Amino acid sequence: MSDSEQFASDNYSGICPQAWAAMDEANRMDEPAYGEDIWTARAADGLRALFDTDCDVFFTFNGTAANSLALASIGQSFHSVICHELAHIETDECGGPEYASNGSKLLPGEGRDGKLTPDSIEHLVTKRTDIHYPKPKAVSITQATEVGTVYTPDEIRAIRAVADKHKLNIHMDGARFANAVAALGVHPAEVTWKAGVDVLCFSGTKNGLAVGEAVVFFNRALAEDFEWRCKQAGQLASKMRFISAPWCGLMEDETWLGNARHANACADRLARGLLDIEGVSLRYPRQANGVFVELPQPVQDGLRANGWRFYNFIGGCSRLVCSWSTTEAQVDRFLADVRGLVE
Ligand SMILES: *Cc1c(COP(=O)(O)O)cnc(C)c1O
């Protein structure tokens, strides 16, 4: 069994062919450094066209940096950011957002299926308004969420309504933004600026790049001096074109969306197959490219002994993630192995 027998994460996958081809093309020339090249201009223009609005676009190496720097640009060190208790920024970024902002505190909120609710936000903003409490300034939502669910445009607009009431900016962690857009079947604008999102961290890595996230400011006032923030944080790539050119590859012929649709379809096949097996249930509804499944311990052990790699976290269930490179045959091999172990 090869190393590719995995549902561990979408960042275990390689670089998709379109991104690779664009990188190869960018490699056939010399170009100015630090983002002054034609590829970076083209990628930023491509994202403006994609979102159908005049937004400010920056590129960082990874998602932790994108989220941390975007959140730092939203408030001061004495401000706080409301996020879901399962949010990556809260649980998996090693205090990066607090560090980048010189101390802004994250306030964990609640909601079913990994989705922060307007009520929870309202509660966190209003429970204290005195000077001893870090003043809420932003809401961060993850699309698709850490448990593979998606916020609908209506749900985002409802969060915007509370945000407006309390003068909060909205940050979206879009590590799996493409999968959410594919799942919802909406225009990317409908779940971002049209629904009131101020800044989006759009992941290229999990969609099929080697490296690189786009920080997209729809609220352009928040982007003031952001390039200096990136540079100071060590996030300004010298040979920027090798981050931006692959983005051009992703945007050509809607490759980003095709990759996400494929990953979601594989996850759907996987979820349906698992639900057909006696004694197997899903912890969260399958909406994007992740499947969160309760498997008996001996079945998990057997799968791992057969060479399958996947993670167990968030309440102990098994997380299975599909990507652009997952194949239907791979899904079917996994399902056959589960069936064999259950019997
Ligand atoms: C993967 C991921 C990120 C980014 O992680 P990096 O390893 O820093 O690139 C951010 N948010 C979520 C929800 C993720 O799954």
273 Cβ closer than 6 Å to some ligand 1 atom: no
- Measured in angstroms, how far is the CA atom of residue 253 from the centroid of ligand 1? 25
Q: What is the pLDDT of residue 48?
A: 98
235 Cβ closer than 6 Å to some ligand 1 atom: no
Residue of the CA atom closest to atom 4 of ligand 1: 63
**Please, what are the domains in the chain?**
17-254 (3.40.640.10), 255-342 (3.90.1150.10)
289 Cβ closer than 6 Å to some ligand 1 atom: no
Q: Which of 288, 269, 282 is nearest to 206 (CA)?
A: 288
Burial class (CB in 10 A: 0-12, 13-18, 19+), 154: exposed
Residue of the CA atom closest to atom 2 of ligand 1: 175
Q: What is the pLDDT of residue 32?
A: 98
- Measured in angstroms, how far is the CA atom of residue 339 from the centroid of ligand 1? 32
Kindly state the DSSP code that residue 317 receives in the 8-state scheme. Answer: P
Share of the chain above pLDDT 70, in %: 99
Q: Which residues contact 38 (CB under 8 A, 6 or more apart)?
A: 31, 241
pLDDT in tens, 3-44: 559 999 999 999 999 999 999 999 999 999 999 999 999 999
The residue type at 49: A
Residue of the CA atom closest to atom 3 of ligand 1: 63
64 Cβ closer than 6 Å to some ligand 1 atom: yes
Atom number in ligand 1 closest to CA 62: 9
149 Cβ closer than 6 Å to some ligand 1 atom: no
> Quick one: CA dihedral 46, 220, 35, 173, positive or negative?
negative
Calpha distance 325→102 (Å, rounded): 39
* Beta-strand pair 169-174/79-84: unpaired
- Measured in angstroms, how far is the CA atom of residue 201 from the centroid of ligand 1? 10
Calpha distance 249→88 (Å, rounded): 27
Atom number in ligand 1 closest to CA 145: 13
Under the banding of pLDDT at 50, 70 and 90, the label for residue 101 is very high
- Measured in angstroms, how far is the CA atom of residue 13 from the centroid of ligand 1? 14
In this prediction the pTM is 0.97
Q: What is the pLDDT of residue 316?
A: 79
Q: Which of 55, 59, 36 is nearest to 45 (CA)?
A: 55
- Phi/psi at 200 (5° precision): -120, 135
Share of the chain above pLDDT 90, in %: 97
What would the two tokens of residue 302 be?
């057997």
Q: Is 95 left (phi over 0), alpha (psi -120 to 50) or beta?
A: left
pLDDT in tens, 40-78: 999 999 999 999 999 999 999 999 999 999 999 999 999
Calpha distance 152→70 (Å, rounded): 23
Atom number in ligand 1 closest to CA 67: 10
Q: How many CA atoms lie within 13 A of 253 on its CB side?
A: 8
Q: What is the mean pLDDT of residues 293-308?
A: 95
pLDDT in tens, 254-298: 999 999 999 999 999 999 999 999 989 999 999 999 999 999 999
155 Cβ closer than 6 Å to some ligand 1 atom: no
Calpha distance 76→147 (Å, rounded): 30
pLDDT in tens, 133-143: 999 999 999 99
Q: What is the pLDDT of residue 4?
A: 52
Under the banding of pLDDT at 50, 70 and 90, the label for residue 1 is very low
* Residue 187 · residue 206 · CB < 8 Å: no
pLDDT in tens, 239-263: 999 999 999 999 999 999 999 999 9
